[in-house]
Amino acid sequence: MAKGKSKNKFNQSWLHDHMNDPYVKLAQREGYRARAAYKLKEIDEQDKLIHPGQVIVDLGAAPGSWSQYARNKLADSPRAKDGRIDGAIIAIDLLPLEPVADVTFIQGDFRDDAVYRQLEETVLAASGGSKVDLVLSDMAPNLSGVEAADAARIEHICELALEFAQAHLKPDGALLVKCFHGSGYSQIVKRFKDQFKVVAPRKPKASRDKSSETFILGRYLKTP
């Protein structure tokens, strides 16, 4: 009984914090599907990641706020005509995604060979046979609370994004992934440094202080 009360109290506390979160209110006001849009916005404003004309891949896109933000940036261009964007965004997720204007969505697990091929073909079509300017990954595994198991899941998710970036990024492209501080974090940073000339951690203000969530940015692929 006490355990049930404790859980209910936790849920009520989370709901109270969520409803009073300024980024939640801002997202509702500005039409974003999640407060996560402001994490990307802050990093983009600091690092100038998103520019008109780019081809962008959004891994783990649902519910779509990162794709929404990127779409708005690509629409803000003199070359964007008839309400279309200047560039291309390809989003993928295991979960369904309510359509985002001008965003090509693939539902499926890109660890699956058929889904991965579909993603590759869509990227090639969008880029005119070229490569990608920016890979975004807000993917996160289901966490169990068991530190070693969770660290392995997080590392695996980051590895998947890294492998995709290695194969499909332009030499001057960038990869931004969500990660978590804790066991395995230093190994993930090392892998980024093995692949990119510039590697930087980012903790935007929109990322809650109590969360171990952080982001790793890699820029400019090292040549093999």
Active site residue 48: no
Q: How far apart are CA 172 and CA 133, in angstroms?
A: 8
Specify whether the CB–CB gap between 71 and 83 falls below 8 A.
no
Q: How far apart are CA 183 and CA 148, in angstroms?
A: 7
Annotated active-site residue in 178, 190, 193, 222: 178
Specify whether the CB–CB gap between 175 and 161 falls below 8 A.
yes
The 10 Å Cβ neighbour count of residue 136 is: 29
What does the radius of gyration of the chain's CA atoms come to, in whole angstroms? 18
Q: Judging by beta carbons within 10 Å of its beta carbon (0-12, 13-18, 19+), is residue 106 exposed, middle or buried? A: middle
Q: How far apart are CA 47 and CA 218, in angstroms?
A: 11
Full strand arrangement of the beta sheet holding 196-202 = 103-107, 88-93, 55-59, 132-137, 169-180, 213-221, 196-202
Q: How far apart are CA 141 and CA 163, in angstroms?
A: 17
Q: Which residues are catalytic?
A: 178
